[in-house]
Amino acid sequence: MAQIFVLNSAYGLMTAAAAIDAGAVPETSHRILLSVNAALVPETGSGPGELASLRGLLARFDRVVSLNELIAPIPPTMWSPPADELPLLERLLRTAWGLGEEPVELYLQSPQVSPSRALAAVFVAAPLTVIGDGLMTYSPIRDRLGRGITGRMRAVAYADVVPGVEPVLFTETGAVRVPIAAGRVRAILEEVDRTVQDAAIDRLAASDVPTALVLGQYLAELDLVTVDEEQHMQFQMIDRAGDLGAERVVFKPHPSAPPALVGALAAHARARGLAWAMYDGPAPAEVLAARVNTVGVVAGFSSALTSARAVLGLPIASAGTDLLLQRLDPFENSNRIPVTIVDALTRPDSPYRTPAALQALVDAVGYCMQPVIMAHLRPRAERVLQSLDEQERHRYFARRRLAELALPGGRRRFIPRTTTLSGDVTRLEELRLTMLGAQRRLGRAMKALQGR
């Protein structure tokens, strides 16, 4: 069986390489990497197959194809071939890649969007496996997909960076969980590290001063916080770096971060008695953390935090997660699970330090994000919410959302469900939510008519 990997990030390629090395991906006669540059402005980004630091990982594939070049001028994220062209496209791709009539299996990093969704439609009989992309993999899928995709979903392969906690992604389809051990991921990281030739990292690594790596995400650009709030959050990150015993901060900014923000952070670090350096090169944060004398990693909710903790054994800290948990809107915002996990792992005296407790929290939040898709998790969500006190409950769950779902902590009276889950229950849940949405829309329309 031929394997086609549709990957759009360095993290995805490293996870795929670790899965191949771990034997989680069967041996095959054809293994193709479709490298996707998913940047909104392609000239500002690169697909994982074009990154010099990852070149060594490409030996695991028989062929590397730039999807951007293949379908230009159509951006991969906007590629949606019409249904009547799909059989022709499949024949053309099979011919171009020498696949003949060989069965195909697809390994998709982002199955809910193009180009992965388009390739799943082209190879309509191919079994599907998800290749994890950090903490986003622990979230439920954000759109309900048809049986043409969910019926072919076989497995979710993911870096086990939150040991003992399984992603909820595609649990509703029965897809097998395939955790890739941290040791395997570390071996890939060390392989990448050996190939990285970066004078800026070499200069930072030449000093043995205890260093904290601080990662910028520029959340204001996503409208999650204001610019001032983000600056305050990053000041807190500098403070956390000092608490970890660092004497120097190495800051890796988001590419879109304005220079004024970076300058204010440098001044704050120096005011705290910390040496300051910045790295804005292309190497992954994990490589930077592994090479310098790192005593800890600090960020908002970056997946690099859990990688640093599980793969490199480094202390981690975060800032602003409590604010973000309240600001994420709508509730099903796909950043919610990553923020929840990082908050639960880094807050003082967290009650979720055991895998079982964190799994229960992730399951409950996942259900509240996508109650129709995750209907099978409702009984667990009810138990979790009943066990939490009010303060703890409303740290992670909005009262309005709980009320809409008739769950403990909502404004409406909660009635436990004892019905065995079935297709009928799922349809009733969908109907109830549809009616609630219609009621809200009607209320807004009435207010508009009354001039309120």
Confidence of residue 188 (pLDDT cuts 50, 70, 90): very high
More reliable by pLDDT, 425 or 411: 411
Question: Among the three residues 187, 213, 246, which one is the final residue of a domain in this structure?
Answer: 187
Asked if residue 268 and residue 178 are part of one domain, the reply reads no
Q: Would residue 377 count as lying in a domain?
A: no
Asked if residue 261 and residue 238 are part of one domain, the reply reads yes
Confidence of residue 170 (pLDDT cuts 50, 70, 90): very high
- Are the C-beta atoms of 218 and 312 separated by less than 8 Å? no
The sheet carrying 248-252 orders its strands as 275-278, 248-252, 211-215, 294-299, 316-318
Percent of the chain with pLDDT over 70: 90
Confidence of residue 326 (pLDDT cuts 50, 70, 90): very high
Asked if residue 205 and residue 181 are part of one domain, the reply reads no
Per the structure, the count of domains in the chain is 2
Asked if residue 110 and residue 207 are part of one domain, the reply reads no
Kind of pairing between the strands at 211-215 and 176-180: unpaired
pLDDT over 60 (residue 452): no
Asked if residue 85 and residue 156 are part of one domain, the reply reads yes
Question: Among the three residues 278, 293, 323, which one is the final residue of a domain in this structure?
Answer: 323
Q: Would residue 76 count as lying in a domain?
A: yes
Q: In whole angstroms, what is the distance from residue 121 CA to residue 149 CA?
A: 8
Query: Which among 119, 65, 132 is positioned nearest to 96, based on CA atoms?
Result: 65
Asked if residue 133 and residue 25 are part of one domain, the reply reads yes
Question: Among the three residues 187, 221, 240, which one is the final residue of a domain in this structure?
Answer: 187
Asked if residue 147 and residue 11 are part of one domain, the reply reads yes
Q: Would residue 51 count as lying in a domain?
A: yes
Q: Which alpha helices (H) appear in 274-377, and where do they start and end?
A: 285-291, 303-310, 321-327, 336-346, 355-369
Q: Report the run of H or E that residue 264 belongs to, with start and end.
A: helix 259-271
**What pLDDT is recorded for position 40?**
74
**What pLDDT is recorded for position 140?**
97
Asked if residue 241 and residue 152 are part of one domain, the reply reads no
pLDDT over 70 (residue 451): no
- Are the C-beta atoms of 109 and 131 separated by less than 8 Å? yes
Confidence of residue 422 (pLDDT cuts 50, 70, 90): very low
pLDDT tens digits along 212-233: 999 998 888 888 899 899 999 9
pLDDT tens digits along 373-391: 999 999 999 999 999 999 9
The region, left, alpha or beta by phi > 0 then psi within -120 to 50, assigned to residue 153 is: beta
**Domain membership of residue 239 as a residue range:** 196-323
Q: Would residue 90 count as lying in a domain?
A: yes
**What pLDDT is recorded for position 444?**
54
Q: In whole angstroms, what is the distance from residue 452 CA to residue 443 CA?
A: 11
Asked if residue 212 and residue 120 are part of one domain, the reply reads no
Q: Would residue 381 count as lying in a domain?
A: no
Asked if residue 165 and residue 103 are part of one domain, the reply reads yes
Q: Would residue 383 count as lying in a domain?
A: no
Kind of pairing between the strands at 128-131 and 104-108: parallel
pLDDT over 80 (residue 163): yes
- Are the C-beta atoms of 41 and 75 separated by less than 8 Å? no
Confidence of residue 86 (pLDDT cuts 50, 70, 90): very high
Which domain CATH number covers 291? Answer: 3.40.50
Asked if residue 7 and residue 103 are part of one domain, the reply reads yes
Asked if residue 318 and residue 208 are part of one domain, the reply reads yes
pTM: 0.89
- 337 CB-near residues (< 8 Å, 6+ apart): 135, 136, 138, 139, 140, 168, 362, 365, 366, 369
pLDDT over 90 (residue 360): yes
Average pLDDT, the chain: 91
pLDDT tens digits along 400-415: 999 999 999 986 554 5
Q: Would residue 177 count as lying in a domain?
A: yes
201 φ/ψ angles, rounded to the nearest 5 degrees: -65, -40
pLDDT over 80 (residue 427): no
Q: Would residue 363 count as lying in a domain?
A: no
Beta bridge partners, 133, equal: none
pLDDT tens digits along 251-284: 998 876 777 788 999 999 999 999 999 999 889 9
Percent of the chain with pLDDT over 90: 82
- Are the C-beta atoms of 266 and 276 separated by less than 8 Å? yes
- Are the C-beta atoms of 408 and 416 separated by less than 8 Å? no
